[in-house]
Structure 1
Amino acid sequence: MAGMDGFGVQLQRGDGAEPEVFTAIADVTSLNPPGMSRETIDVTSHDSPDAWMEFLGGVKDPGEVSADINYQPALHDVLVSDFEDKAPRNYKIVFPDDDVAPTTWSFKALLTGFEPEVPYDDKATASLTFKVTGKPTLA
């Protein structure tokens, strides 16, 4: 079977304790895992074959994770503490691909964006942006 149903994916927040316990961030409606990229180093020279530019792989940027949530202050105000904290916290994405051993994407991140919206005629929402630091681990 091709593809995977994304329903049931979880964004989890670590508590920083030892051993660390992860709790799902409630009411996630949309989630974008790390958008990684890599710098390139131009090594083109006058000797480059057929005048084609040549590159080496440079440093990697772990990117950002973004999520939209149905905002409820009682459930989500702990995220304001994460935003205030200068130290990265452990998070993980748990995919709904296997009930026994689901695929996880673990990463350290800083919460760099917390944007609630409370319109008079619709649900309260918030957009979250996390800047990943270091290598994310897919397991």
Structure 2
Amino acid sequence: MAGMDGFGVQLQRGDGAEPEVFAKIADVTSLNPPGLSRETIDVTSHDSPNGWMEFLGGLKDPGEVSADINYQPAEHDLLVADFDDKTPRNYKIVFPDDDVSPTTWTFGAFLTGFEPETPYDDKASASLTFKVTGKPTITAGA
């Protein structure tokens, strides 16, 4: 079977304790995992074979995570403390690919955006943006 249904994906927040316990961030409606990217270093010279440009792999950027939530102050305002904190917090994305042993992405990140919205004719919502720092740990599911 090809593909995976995204329904049931979870964004979890670590408590910073040892051992760390992760709790689900409630009411996530949309989640975009880190967009990994890599810089390249141009090492082309007059000696490059057949006039083709040559590159080396440069630094890797772990990207950002974005999430939209159904905003509930009692559930979500604790994230404002993450915004105030200069120390990254651990977060985890749990994919719904296996009930027993799901794939997870664990990463340190800073909350860089918390944008609530409360229109008079629709649900209260918020957009969250996290800047990932360091290499994410990807654990493949069963």
1:34 alignment counterpart:
34
2:91 alignment counterpart:
91
**d(CA) in 2 for partners of 1:74, 1:93:** 22
**d(CA) in 1 for partners of 2:104, 2:21:** 14
| Structure 1 residue 50, shift from structure 2 partner | 1.1
Q: Give the 3-state SS of the residue equivalent to 2:23 in structure 1.
A: strand
Runs of 4+ in 1 over 6 A off after TM superposition: none
- Percent identical: 86
Residue 63 of structure 1 pairs with residue 63 of structure 2: yes
TM-score of the superposed pair, with normalisation by structure 2: 0.97
2:45 alignment counterpart:
45
Deviations 1:39-92 (A, max 9, x none): 100000001111111000000000000000000000000001110111000000
The unaligned stretches of length 5 or more in structure 1 are none
The unaligned stretches of length 5 or more in structure 2 are none
1:127 alignment counterpart:
127
| Structure 1 residue 23, shift from structure 2 partner | 0.3
Backbone CA RMSD of aligned residues: 0.4
AA at the equivalent of 1:85: D
TM-score of the superposed pair, with normalisation by structure 1: 0.99
